[in-house]
Amino acid sequence: MGNYSESYNSFKNAISKLRASGEKKSAFFGIALNQMGLSCVQRYAINEAAELFEEAKIILEQECGPYHPDTLGVYSNLAGTYDAMGRLDDAIEILEYVVEMREEKLGTANPDVVDEKKRLAELLKEAGRVRSRKARSLENLLDGNSHDINKDGIAVS
């Protein structure tokens, strides 16, 4: 309906009530955070959206696992938000993971995979890079303190 301010206020109220009731660790709460983040994106409140998506990501990883469609959806939303914030490298890393997981789970011809691959290609083009096909662990991908690995398999700073 396009009334994002009203939906934002409704989600804000619901999130406050869920926090107060101790419902802060359920998949439902993670999904509600994601939806509120989407309303923030529509209202151009990008920094708030990123915070909500980051919180939703943590909850859904714990409650549903990193490969669950809802978790992958939050990763995708977070990648788009990071792109809007100018955090292109972070957006690309997350989107590469999402594309890899969706290809693995849904197949390369699935329309959702095709759309995500197009988004990734646009980001890579913008960054002057090509798609990396090497496998990455989710831990390293989403850990802001991850280290590079040298040829001997040793983490380096």
pLDDT tens string 13-62: 999 999 899 887 899 999 999 999 999 999 999 999 999 999 999 999 99
- C-alpha span between 110 and 62 (Å, rounded): 27
Instruction: Find tokens 């390293």 and name the residue.
Output: 140
Provide the pLDDT for residue 12: 94
Q: What is the pLDDT of residues 91-149, one digit of tens each?
A: 999 999 999 998 888 888 888 888 889 999 999 998 888 766 554 444 444 554 444 55
DSSP letter string, 32-58: HHHHHHHHHHHTT-HHHHHHHHHHHHH
Claim: this prediction has a pTM higher than 0.75: yes
What pLDDT was estimated at residue 1?
A: 67
Among 53-57, 70-74, 99-103, 153-157, the range scoring the smallest mean pLDDT is 153-157
Beta strand extents in 36-137 (DSSP E only): none
The residue ranking higher by pLDDT, 34 or 4, is 34
